[in-house]
Amino acid sequence: MDNQPELVPDPSIESAKKAATIVYALQAASFLLAVTFIAAVIVNYVKKDDVAGTWVASHFRWQIRTFWFGLLWCFIGVITFILGVGYFILMGTAVWVIYRIAKGWLSLLDGKSMYLEG
C-alpha cells in the first residue's frame, strides 16, 4: 500500500481555474455572439486581483492580450476592408484568436502556466 497523503486542491486555485475556464468559454462563444468577447474581458478585469500570485494569473494575462490584440486587428481589418486586404486580416485574426483560445484552454486543463517563468 502507498502511504502518500492525498493532495487536497487549493480552493483559491480551483476558483481561479473556474474563472479562467468561463473566460475561455465566453471567448469561444464570441464567434456566435460577439458581445461575449466583451463579457470575457470584463470577467478578466473583475477577477484579476483574485488570481494575482497564482499560475492562473498567466492565463488571465493571455486572455486579456487576446482580447486587446484581437480587437486591434479587427479594427485594422475593418478599416482596410475597402482596400481589399481587410478580409485577409479579419480571417487571420479569427484563426489567431481560435489558436489562442485552444492553446490557453488546453494548457489550463493540463495545469500549466501560459508563459515560461524565470
User: What does the pLDDT look like over 14-23, one tens digit per residue?
Assistant: 999 999 999 9
Q: Is the pLDDT of residue 110 over 80?
A: yes
Band of the pLDDT at 118, cuts 50, 70, 90? very low
Q: What is the pTM of this model?
A: 0.87
Q: What is the pLDDT of residue 34?
A: 94
Give the chain's end-to-end CA distance (angstroms, integer): 38
Task: Look at 9-13, 92-96, 106-110, 112-116 and tell me which has the smallest mean pLDDT.
Answer: 9-13
Biggest CA-to-CA distance, the chain: 70
